[in-house]
Amino acid sequence: MKALILTNEFPPNVYGGAGVHVEYLCGELAKHIQVDVRCFGDQDLTEAHMKVTGHKISKDLIAAAPDKFKSPLHTIMQCVSFNAQPIDADVVHCHTWYAQFGGILAKMLYDIPLVITTHSLEPMRPWKREQLGRGYDFSSWIEKTALEMSDAIIAVSNETRDDVLTHFDVDPDKIVIIPNGIDIDEYQPAKSSDALTKYGIPEDLEYVLFVGRVTRQKGIIHLVRAIKDLDPDIGVVLCAGQPDTEEIGREMREGVEAVQKERDHVYWIPEMVPKRAAIELYSHATVFCCPSVYEPFGIINLEAMACETPVVASAVGGIKEVVVHNETGLLVLFEPDIHSSSGVLNPEQFAQDLALAVNRVFRDKELAQKMAKAGRKRVEEVYSWSTIAERVVYLYQNLIVG
């Protein structure tokens, strides 16, 4: 059997949870079947059971396009490029809307089953209109077309399955729930502190950590607003790069600068740090905070739990299935508002509740230690990539035979 994997992100070009998912899933799939990965970039890798080919389209072709349309137009050209090379796979599997037009073409041109993993859904991210303008209507159309013509949909959580059924005309029997996973050998508590030294963070500092992009979806602005209500001895480390828009980038910068004037030990690392550095930062953190307003799964919570760090996270989407409230962390309730740019009906209250939850874990060292151990145990028992890959291969087999 051979699977064609179409994806925007693949190492070394990984900037979010979908890229992490694809990296580890492909590695495990290659232990069972042949894998042909076609991605955005200049990658060129051939191993025993996996070939990775980057597709890089000259941006000169879209230089005259309006800025908000450049990303969608570039995406379409990449997806056409994916299909410009012959395909001999038995199934095509797409990750995120950036690759879905490529899957549509592969299914139609080569008559092979189409599998879509729903890492996120466009109807749940209306703030993308701020970034893409009417390009958001275009990405939404691609996603709707791909999901409704797919042969199978992998939802990474139960709530994501419900969202698919709410917003798209698909047969419920086509949807299978297979969560994200974690490499428990790679992600484990680290005693080394090179990352702390590199970024100027005192080794004895107790801090709350954020890792992610500067986007409305990840809710980082809510955490920045919560800093003023944190206990004064709590440090803050924000690993946050790649703002979606100039507006949110400016909002982030102004918010961080304001709290830095009021308190010490607020560190903003404006980049996606290397994996080893992230593991060290997770391991030394007292609490990890995930304030997402929309999160189909939230793989960063698995990373923190694997490093024995308690989690404070918004009670949204797949996070509620990953983080066990009062056992591996604390879930913060809020009322979603998908029609506002903040994503939250009462952003001030949400920020205050985040601060209260973080303070509680910091103040109760015994609770924090219990959560740390319970989080690691849950990751080991439930979220192994080997088990997840076996389920994906089984899905492929059923589609090919059927």
Tens of pLDDT, residue by residue over 44-60, are 999 999 999 999 988 88
Instruction: Give pairs for 188-193: CB < 8 Å, separation 24+.
Output: 188/279, 188/306, 188/307, 188/308, 188/376, 189/283, 189/307, 189/308, 189/376, 190/279, 190/280, 190/282, 190/283, 190/284, 190/307, 191/283, 192/280, 193/280, 193/284
| pLDDT for residue 326 is more than 90 | yes
Measure the CA–CA gap between 110 and 222, rounded to whole angstroms: 46
Q: What is the C-alpha separation between 373 and 306, in angstroms, rounded?
A: 9
Evaluate if residue 27 carries a pLDDT over 80.
Answer: yes
Record the tokens describing residue 128, joined without a space: 């993308």
Q: Domain 194-382 carries which CATH code?
A: 3.40.50.2000
CA distance 282 to 173: 38
Give yes or no for residue 1 having a pLDDT over 80.
yes
In this prediction, residue 339 has a pLDDT band, given cuts at 50, 70 and 90, of low
Cα 399 vs. chain centroid, distance in angstroms?
A: 27
* 21/170 Cα distance (integer angstroms): 24
Tell me the whole-structure pTM to 2 decimals.
0.80
| Span 227-253, average pLDDT | 93
Summarize the confidence of residues 58-72 as an average pLDDT. Answer: 88
pLDDT surpassing 90 at residue 256:
yes
Model confidence at 246: pLDDT above 90: no
Give the per-residue pLDDT at 147.
Answer: 98
**Beta-strand pair 44-46/34-40:** unpaired
CA 280 to chain centre: 19
pLDDT tens for each residue of 132-190:
888 899 999 999 999 999 999 999 999 999 999 999 999 999 999 999 999 999 999 99
Query: Which pLDDT belongs to residue 163?
Result: 94
Whether residue 374 is predicted with pLDDT greater than 80 in this model: the reply is yes
What does DSSP say about strands 50-55 and 44-46: parallel, antiparallel, or unpaired? antiparallel
Long-range contacts of 43-49 (CB under 8 A, 24+ apart): 43/10, 43/11, 43/12, 43/13
The Cα–Cα gap between 372 and 374 comes to 6
Class of domain 2-181+384-401: alpha beta
- Identify which has the larger pLDDT, 335 or 158: 158
Sheet holding 207-213, edge to edge: 266-269, 235-241, 207-213, 287-290, 311-314, 329-332
94-147 pLDDT per residue, tens: 999 999 999 999 999 999 999 999 998 998 888 788 778 888 999 999 999 999
How large is the average pLDDT for residues 342-355?
86
Which pLDDT score, from 0 to 100, does residue 298 have? 87
Q: Enumerate the β-bridge partners of residue 36.
A: 4, 51
Domain segments of the chain: what residues?
2-181+384-401, 194-382
Read off the pLDDT of residues 288-325 as tens digits, 9 standing for 90 and up: 999 999 888 889 999 999 999 999 999 998 999 999 99
